[in-house]
Structure 1
Amino acid sequence: MFLANIFSSFSWWLILPLAILILAIRDLLQNRHTIQHNFPVVGHIRYMLEKIGPELRQYIVANNREELPFNRGERAWVYASSKKENNLQGFGSDQDFNTAGYIFIKHAMLGHKLADNHPNLKDPSAVPCSKTIGEYHKRKRPYKPYSVVNISGMSYGSLSAKAVESLNKGALKFGCYHNTGEGSLSPYHKYGSDVIVNIGTAYFGVRDDDGKFSMEKLIKMTTDNPFVKALELKLSQGAKPGKGGMLPAAKITKEIAEIRHIPLGKDAISPAFHSEFSTIPEMVNFIESMANQTGLPVGIKSAVGKLEMWEELAQYMVKTGKGPDFITIDGGEGGTGAAPHAFADHVSLPFNYGFTKVYKIFQKYELADKIVFIGSGKLGFPEKAMMAFAMGCDLINVAREAMMSIGCIQAQVCHTNRCPAGVATSSPWLQAGIDPTLKSERFYNYVKTLNKEILEITHACGYEHPCQMTMQDVDMVMGDNNKTQSLATTFGYNKTIVPFEGVDKLLKSPYLGGGKAQVN
């Protein structure tokens, strides 16, 4: 009996390490859960804590709406949507309806009923842009995005190769475009989706040996890659406007250095400002030169601060008939890029204030219906997207929401090269847990769900397309006085009406992107 007890005790000590070893091997060999692959065994603790997280926060830490930059309720919606799980909520809302800035979308008593042959009955997520980029300035290759929701600029280098690949393949499947970010066009942007090439102050990918802009390289890039549909000249970004981007040397691989045409072993620091222009007329000339040489529409991306130069740009466009084909307004809420505390928290206006101020300027000069307006800054949720459309956005770009759809857990270590989910790192080990086949499907599910819910709210409001939303259709809470008022009253304008002839007409445009064009 004594020996049996010893043997029994010994066997348990043997079984436990063996079980842990087997679990570790299983974690290393699977790619479905990145955290478990990158951190065998202990990675299971993260999922266990996530599962009981709502209870822990409810009684000990915080509720579902208190976390920033994205609270648990928002993240849970993205995760569930990307995995095709139940993204509904029960037992009413847990929001505080009296919070200043809270929005209410006003539905119609009788919503918009689709005709029997309406294309959205077949595809309830098909929402093309109501405008065509480059049409007003008569570019050689105008472009109508297939989706009103698209991927914002996130560079290869800032994001891992497998993350970029996952997003691009998911974008291809759905039909939305993929903005390269200022890190230029990489092999991982070339799986077939529509691409908008972002050109920043360092001119990565289209620069010569001295770091100056090379038109010859830009022409070759756009000629060799016909899926490039437009160019975006980046003036600034919400995370750090007026300060150049920086990719730490630790994140720069040989491949990234070759793509960007930069040296290895040094931080890649973008200048704060462009060397090709320093005035509004010079910038417009640069835009026109790129458009004429490539045939592509060219737009600008910027955060918003002082308004004098926006006024000057609008005046110059009226005077010359030249200028950007689209304007992307990036909110000061920040993004994936690392930034000094003061820049991230206090420099540039949040999206709501920045966008409305710029839009009113272009509306004053009767340009609002001629330019495609793109909004960016935590808009990747149905209600926030609808608010943006009501304000005058024609498209929205999503960045961090897209990252969450492929596994980002909001660790907020994007700048350290230690992203535990493998999304924002160049570490081969950490990104090895990302399976692009699975993750691309999850981004596809997310963007499809977002477009579908945008359409559902649109129909509830009595419209066929979100471009028909007006500033009177959304109310905003004013705070302690317990009153609400329309966006029109809050921001002091009514958006310019966008010409719209029906979704079926948009889907038949010869300029429709996403591989969906149907010539009449």
Structure 2
Amino acid sequence: MKEAIRFTFIALIIVLIIISTVMWPIYGFSIIGVLIFAIGLNDLFQKKHAILRNFPVLGNMRFLLEMIAPELHQYFIESDTDGKPIDRNHRTYVYTRAKLGKETHPFGTELNVEAENYKWMQHSIYPSPILKEAPRQVVGGKECTQPYSASIFNISAMSFGALSKNAVMALNLGAKAGNFFHDTGEGGISDYHLKGGDLVYEVGTGYFGCRTEDGNFSPEEFKKKAAIPEVKMIEIKISQGAKPGHGGVLPAAKNNEEIAKIRGVKPHTAVISPPGHTAFSDAEGLLRFIQEMRELSGGKPIGFKLCIGSKDEFSEICKKMVETGIKPDFITVDGAEGGTGAAPIDFTNYVGMPWEKGLIFVVDTLNGYDLKKDIKVITATKIITAFDILKALCMGADICNSARGMMFALGCIQALRCDTNECPTGVTTNNPGLMRGLVVEDKRKRVKNYHEKTVAEFLELFAATGCKKLSDLNRSFIFKQVETDTKCYEDLYPTVQEGSLLENKSELIN
């Protein structure tokens, strides 16, 4: 609605300018004068806005400027490096790769290399040959009968409903063309996900697509969804970085009949998932649920996704893995900086462990309980560039996912209207008039291009380290500016030795 008002207001101004130009010689100021008088009279006697009552006509400028403030800030005020949440340089990085544009940058870095938290990688004067094919990671432990070979760079969880059907189709077709996976998000599997791309079926606290009428987990419905050939892995969403401890939110404006049918809810209502799962309530319950899902899916890889809050709770999960012998095939680590279409502001700003510390903690804890060798770690928070991938792998991750990077490849301009159903590029809206701007045939190529070019650049960075295989990467390759000194990640976060957290070293898992 606000978007319609905005365009109507702009159109009205244009019409007034045209009328004034044409009629000026005949009527002079009379037309403009009448219009200004009418606006002023309305402002003077309306009761909703104090600014307009006290400053008729002139006060409207405040609302006009407020309406276009995001555009003014993004295009005329912010620099290339200070935009939030993703700066212009990173957005341009995605756009140029998605469009196969110029990838070089002239005249040196724009970053302040002496600034706190500046990060850089160690290179070798004896670089390795660039790999001809990108390495892949096999996900699936001993109990998994259908392991999956995953790209190191994939599409992170974004639901149909949060994204438009055109966006979902373009992502899936891009994943198919580039041979990487597409995480469905917790909104269930729609027909738009089934265009041939590999899927990770995410099951959240609302159990969309596999729920009973009262909203609990339905083994029968899950078994049907897990049997879909495109579904290669299943991810239990415990929490996400943008709103950990809070269920997913689909605003009523975006919940149309089609989306409601897929999710099994009432249309045109706000869909707020429960904060926690009803299928389990403790660490052992989570592992038993993983075991049940693995059996129901016919042995496909099962994992869970979380943003770390309580360290003790994650440690308890690891202890139960050792006790029961039940392990997930993968764990996806999100950070508090994670993105979302809609979240309460305090959850976005102040809840959850930041990505870097969260990822390090998960990797170290798994190592400490001698579990890391059996469990792949996937990570997803502001993974945009090839360096982001290299840094994550050096910290201990095995696979990286990107949501906002893939959105930029679709044409997202960071208009920050994801929760209004008024996305101007058609990425996060089901408004047909706006969605038509996202042409699937064109944008699927851009998604594939972005993935391909980013992985290719990763291979160049990887060769520059002098490493021969992914397992050679470690924390000693990444450095961070800390106050007036530079420290490598191995010094900042010393690697925890395998099995060092086990109370009885004889418990080491073979």
Same fold, judged at TM 0.5 (above)? yes
Is contact 2:153-2:451 (8 Å) kept?
A: yes
Correspondence for 1:206:
210
Matched, 1:449 2:445: no
2:294 counterpart of 1:291:
yes
Equivalent residue for 2:252? 249
Give me the TM-score of the superposition, normalised by structure 1.
0.80
User: For residue 121 of structure 2, what is the aligned residue in structure 1?
Assistant: 105
**Residues 123-272 of structure 1 aligned to structure 2 (within 5 Å):** 123=133, 126-129=134-137, 132-134=138-140, 136-145=141-150, 147-223=151-227, 225-272=228-275
Unaligned ranges ≥5, structure 1:
1-11, 14-45, 115-119, 497-520
Please say if 1:462 is aligned against 2:466: yes
Partner of 1:279: 282
Partner of 2:13: none
Deviation at 1:468, TM superposition (A): 2.5
Question: Which of 371, 382, 387 is 2:386 aligned to?
Answer: 382
Q: Which residue of structure 1 lines up, in the alignment, with residue 97 of structure 2?
A: 81
Counterpart of 1:488 in structure 2 is 490
Distance in 2, Cα, partners of 1:416 & 1:465: 45
Cα pair 1:470 1:494 within 8 Å, conserved: no
Q: 1:314 to 1:263 in 2, by over 3 A?
A: same
Deviation for aligned residue 1:495:
8.2
Mapped partners of 1:67, 1:107: distance in 2:
29
Residues 196 and 228 in structure 1, CA contact (< 8 A), matched pair in contact too: yes
Superposition deviation, residue 53 in structure 1: 7.8
Determine helix, strand or coil for the equivalent of 2:388.
helix
Corresponding residue for 1:329? 333
Query: How far apart are residue 458 of structure 1 and its match?
Result: 0.2
Cα distance change, pair 307–442 in 1 and its aligned pair in 2 (3 A)? same
Give the conservation status (yes or no) of the 8 Å contact 2:243–2:351: yes
2:332, 2:359 → 1: CA distance?
Answer: 9
Contact 1:150–1:178 (8 Å) recurs in 2? yes
SS of the aligned residue for 1:415 comes to coil
Structure 1 counterpart SS, 2:285:
helix
Q: Which residue of 2 aligns with 1:312?
A: 316
Q: Is the 8 A contact 1:137 1:322 kept in 2?
A: no
Contact in 2 for aligned 1:154/1:399 (Cα 8 Å)? yes
CA-CA distance at 1:450 after TM superposition: 0.8
**Aligned counterpart, 1:418:** 422
Aligned position for 2:433? 429
Question: Is the partner of 1:416 in helix, strand or coil?
Answer: coil
Task: Kindly name which structure, 1 or 2, has the bigger radius of gyration based on alpha carbons.
Answer: 2
Cα distance in 1 for partners of 2:245, 2:211 equals: 21
Aligned-pair distance for 1:143?
Answer: 1.1
For 1:157 and 1:163, how far apart are their aligned partners in 2? 10
Instruction: For 2:319, give the aligned amino acid.
Output: Q
Structure 1 residue 83, shift from structure 2 partner: 0.3
Residue aligning to 1:68: 84
Shift of 1:138: 2.5
The separation in 1 between residues aligned to 2:108 and 2:258, in whole angstroms, is 50
CA distance in 2, matches of 1:334, 1:383: 18
How many residues align structurally?
Answer: 433
1:329 match: secondary structure: strand
Partner of 1:361: 365
The whole-number CA distance in structure 1 between the counterparts of 2:469 and 2:458 is: 9
Q: Where do residues 388-407 of structure 1 align in structure 2 (5 Å cutoff)?
A: 388-407=392-411
- Percent identity between the aligned chains? 36
Q: Do the aligned residues in 2 keep the contact of 1:454 with 1:466 (CA within 8 Å)?
A: no
Mapped to 2, the partners of 1:167 and 1:99 lie a distance apart of 36
* Structure 1 residues 159-192: Cα deviation after superposition (integer angstroms, max 9, x where no partner): 0000000000000000000000000111111011
Q: CA deviation at 1:155?
A: 0.1
CA shift for structure 1 position 375: 0.9
Q: Deviations over 1:304-331 (max 9, x none)?
A: 1111111111111112210211000001
Kept in 1: contact 2:74–2:83 (CA 8 A): no
Following superposition, the deviation at residue 139 of structure 1 comes to: 1.0
- Superposition RMSD in Å: 2.1
Q: Secondary structure at the match of 1:144?
A: strand
One-letter amino acid of the structure 2 residue matched with residue 107 of structure 1: H
Amino acid at match of 1:133: V
Shift of 1:492: 2.5
> Deviation per CA, 1:63-99, whole angstroms, max 9, x where unpaired?
2111111111111111011000002211011100112
Residue of structure 1 in register with 2:33 after alignment: none
Give TM-score scaled by structure 2 length: 0.82
Counterpart secondary structure, 1:300: strand
Q: 2:112 aligns with which of 89, 96, 99?
A: 96
Instruction: Please give the per-residue CA displacement for 1:355-391, whole angstroms capped at 9, x wherever unaligned.
Output: 1112111110111121100111001211111110000
Query: Structure 2 regions of 5+ residues with no counterpart?
Result: 1-20, 23-67, 499-510
Could you tell me which of 304, 307, 323 is aligned with 1:303?
307
